[in-house]
Every structure is written in C-alpha cells, then in structure tokens.
Structure 1
Amino acid sequence: MHIPDNYLSPSTCAVIGAAMIPVWRRSSTKIKQELSKKKMPLLGICAAFSFLIMMFNVPLPGGTTGHAVGATLAAILLGPYAAVVSITIALAIQALFFGDGGILALGVNSFNMAFIMPFVGYYIYKFISLRIKGNKGEYAAAFVAGYIALNAAALVTAIEFGIQPMLFKDAAGLPLYCPYGLNAAIPAMMIPHLLLAGFVEGGVTAAVLAYIKKVSPASIYEGNEVKTKPIYALIIGLITLVPIGLLATGTAWGEWGAEEIKEMIGVVPKGMKEGINFEALMPDYSILGLSETIGYIVSAVIGVVLTVLAVRLVFIKKGKKNNPNTSY
C-alpha cells in the first residue's frame, strides 16, 4: 500500500496531504495532553515496530506481495491519535531513506495507513472488546479490528488509484498517472487483502498484544512502570528475522517501476515519465557493497534507530522545551 510518486496526480497528493495537516496537528496536541510519561517510550517503540513489520513481505494471490502495518496495535496501546503520529514517522523514514513510498505521496500514504487504519481499528476493537469479556474476547477483538482496518485502508488506496484515469488524461485521452480504473484497482487490491493480508494483520495485532499484555501489562493498563526491555527484545528479534521478507517474490500491486509498467501496458504514462524522481539513500532497503540479506538487516537497524530518534526529537525534546519540569 506504499503508493510511489507519480502514480497519483500532484493535485491528488496535495488535497489529501492538506487534509492530513489538521489530523497531524490534532494528534500532536492530544499526545502532549493525554499520553502519560510512562507510556511515552511506547510511541517510539510502536513506530519502530511498524517500520519493521512492514519489511516482512508476504506473497499474495495474483503474484503480488503485501505486509502488515501495525497501526491497529499502536492504536490499541496508545490511542488512535498517538498511532497517527507513530505510523506517520515510520512512513516518513521509509520514504526519505529507503524509497518505500513516494515523497509527494507521503500525505496520501499517511492518510491510508496512519489515519484510516488506526481509527477504524481502534473503534472496532473497542466495540467488540466491550461486548466480549475476557482475554479471548480481547484478542478476538484485536484480530477482527486489524483485519478490517487493513482492508479499509486497502479499499481507500484502491479508490485513489482507480480515480486517476477518470480525472487525469492527456490530449489523446490516455491516463497521465495510474492507468488502472476502479474496475481493475478495487478487485486487484481487495481480493488479496481480504483473502490473506488482512489475516496477517489481524494475527500480528492479536499475537503482539498478547505478548505485551504478558510481559508489560502497564503498556496497556495504567499502573506500574512500563517494562520496555521485553518489548525491545521483540524489536531485536524482528530485526534478526527481517530477511524472511525477502523470500516473497513479485511486486506489490501499484508499486511497479516504469519498466514494469511499460511491459504491462506497452507505454509509460506521461505523468509518470515526467514526474518527480527522488533517489533514496538506501533504495529498496539495500546498501551498496553488502549482500541483499545483510543490507536488509542493516537497513532494519538504521530504520529502527531513525524512527526512535525522530520521535524523541519531535516530542520529547519539544516537551521539555515547553515544560522544563516535565520529564518523559
């Protein structure tokens, strides 16, 4: 679901990106007002977890690939507003340093994965968990919430792709950007997400929630100090396992390169050909001079460090400046 640059028109990116500005501002305010200092470290941990879990690509029906996002999990642990910021930071690091998702499309990707997903997932989780009591009900709620939230984001992404050939054409009537309309984009996105990717997201959400509830219950419920060591152990474990994501072959739907597009439809749409061409430092999580596997692991380490540092710089340092007596 990481929409690259030039698949959507600049105006589409601008409108949706502008819509995210008040969401980001509101989320930032809510974090400072409502997130306790005990839970503040979880903001960076959730961003790092999201960054990592998105590196675990899984093969999907139709020869494409997909991944979990972790947005519903972040919303359950911290609330949907904190999840907005946490997932946005992960997406920004991915786009800026690894070329995973577009620069102009960052606002759109944030809308889909950092806004739609956590809010849909959070309220579905609350609705179900209040009606089915006990651990089993809580984990079932987390699973269903993760499944539905990912598919909601996939549907919105498909619509964004699908409206492009309807709205943006050249003088000859050919699409300028994404060449596939709603009749192709919606089934291509939804079928694999409904059949497999949604179950992966739901399973990850429920499993990690159960783990955190066991090793650090204060991460979920207010009480004693949040135990971060067991959660960091999970992060380290994921880093060592990220090469599993390299086993999935194929390209995620809607994330093809120009040559792949040309092979599929015979031409590269003009808007794609003449659009922005941002070169990331470590494209596709690869590092010059390192093997694919080692480069993937090193990229994971760098990504985790950058996400945690970004959270600290944006919130913890700013919080101390605004309130010298506050220590997060």
Structure 2
Amino acid sequence: MMQKDDKTEVLIIGQGLAGTMLSYHLLKNNIAHKLIDVPKNGSASRAAAGLINPIVVKRVTKTWQANIFQPYAHALYQELEQHLNTRFYYPMPVYKLYGKDDEQFWQHRQEKEQLGDYLSVKAQHDLPQGFHQPFGYGTIHPCARLDMAHMLDAYRQFLIKNDNLIEADFNDDDLELHSEGVKWRNIKAQRVIFCRGSSDAQSRFFSHHKWNNTKGELLDVKIAGLELKSIISKGVFVMPVGPQQFKIGATYAHHWNDLAPSANKQEELLDKWQRIADLPLNVQKQITGIRPTFADRRPVTQQSDKHPQIGLFNGLGSRGGLMAPYLAKEMAMNILKQ
C-alpha cells in the first residue's frame, strides 16, 4: 500500500539556534512547518557558551545592528521561556578588566560613539579576591548568558509533543525540486529552509558561498569558593553557569584536522586565565564546535537565486544568540508575504 503524501508549508532542516528560532517565529505566524534533525557532534549551537554582548570589546563599538538585535532578543527569549515553562536566559553584565590606558580609551569611545546606554566607564563594585584589576574595569550592559543547549532541548520536546519534529538524517540527494515546491520522502512543502550551520558548507546548494568557518573551544571548570553574578572579560571570558561552575572561552582556529579538543588550545585558555586571576581551578570538560561564518562576517537569510523554493539561514558565527531572534522574525515575515 502506497504511503499518502503529507503536506506542509515549510520544511526546516536542522534544529540548532537558527532552526529553532525560525520554527518559533513560523509558529507565532501560524505557518505550518516540519523540522528535520538529528543532533550531530560539532554543533556550534550546542557547544556555544551563549554569551550575548552587543559590544565589540576590542574596538569598543556596537556590533552590527546591535540597537535592533539586542532589545528584540531580550524580549523574545523571555517570551520563549514562558512558552516552554523553563529558564535558559540569564541577564548579567560583562566586566571588562582594564589594561593601563583602557579607561581613557573607553571614555573616548563612549563619547565619540554615543555608547552611554551600553557602557559604564567607572567600576561599579569590587570584584572577588583573586582577580588582577590594578587599573579597574568597565561594565558592558545589557548582556546575558543564554543556556543554548537547555533551550534547544526544551524546544525539541515541544516539537515532539506537537508532531513537528522528524528525527532523521537529511541527505540533499533525497530532496526533489518541483515548480510548486519540494518533496522529501512523503512530505511535500512549498519551500525548504536549510539551518544546518557549518554542515551546509558541504551542500551542493550552497557550496558557492564564501564560507569561512572557525573551530572554537572552551572549558567547563570548577573554581572552588568563587561566586560571580557577572561575566569577567580580558583576553578570555569567565562566565558563571552554576554554583562554583564556570565556562572559560573561547578560541578561534581557521584551520583544523578534526573536532577533537586541542591540548594547545586548553593551554592557551588556562594561560589567559592565569593572567587575570590567581584562583586554582579544575578543568572538567573541554568543548569544541564549528562556528558557521562567511567571509564578510554577515549572516545569510535568503532564497536561492537558482532554486527559489530553497532558502538558507546561516552564518550566525559567534553572535548568533544576539542576531538569530530578529533575523528569524524577518525571515518568517518574508515567508508570510509570499
């Protein structure tokens, strides 16, 4: 007996940050969709520390579209927490430890770039003992920690409960393109949106893009006796994730052989940690992931010129937590108009 075709408006391939945000915005706009995904090693979304920061720390300037992305992300994550009845979004400031002339540089940048809503040049509080801060620190706000793995797991359970998730490996060769849309196995859809992160660089549909993926690594550590309610930054970031539990990151590598943790990258992170604090720690885990980025460092949210029924939502890089909610909203609105 032949299996009856199932119909939907949109197929989403991949349930990382991009796929999850797009799915939620399609849901908000009553756009029928199915999501196809099997979690894979090297996922940037699941490896990410989840630091949301609207400021480029080194240059002391706003990130691209920060005044649009940040307030929308803040509101959206809190809305999604209520929808899923769980907590994964934790607003907290970033304290940037100053070097010798940094305070004067921050003051200059704050005035020139009109960053008063994002920066406090003078230190607000004393840091815990053990941190090196001979020149003080400045504060970046509003920032946050996004527990991305927990958010993705909670949304996955929501998808399963509502019969919107298909747990299967997706092979591009199994996708049939038709004038009226696409077909995968027994599912017909008006369009398909690929959200597979770095894996899409190997796709025959998107190999023409100028990919510039990077391998990132960070450490899960225990620091006995340390309590932080902020993220500390100088060369690396130190992010509290639980009682005496922290993440230290992150590294960038443009060339790599595999996904295995690199001993030299752990050494690099620990060396930078020792420059900012005299506090012993215990490394519990080293995490790796491949950040999907393009040569121009801008995300892609567009349909294929050759195949208009195919779309790509990718290239979120290290700022995905900040950018993804608003970009997903825009993509959903474009789908709604078509």
- Bin of the TM-score, shorter chain as denominator length: under 0.3
TM-score in terms of structure 1 length: 0.26
Structure with the largest fraction of strand: 2
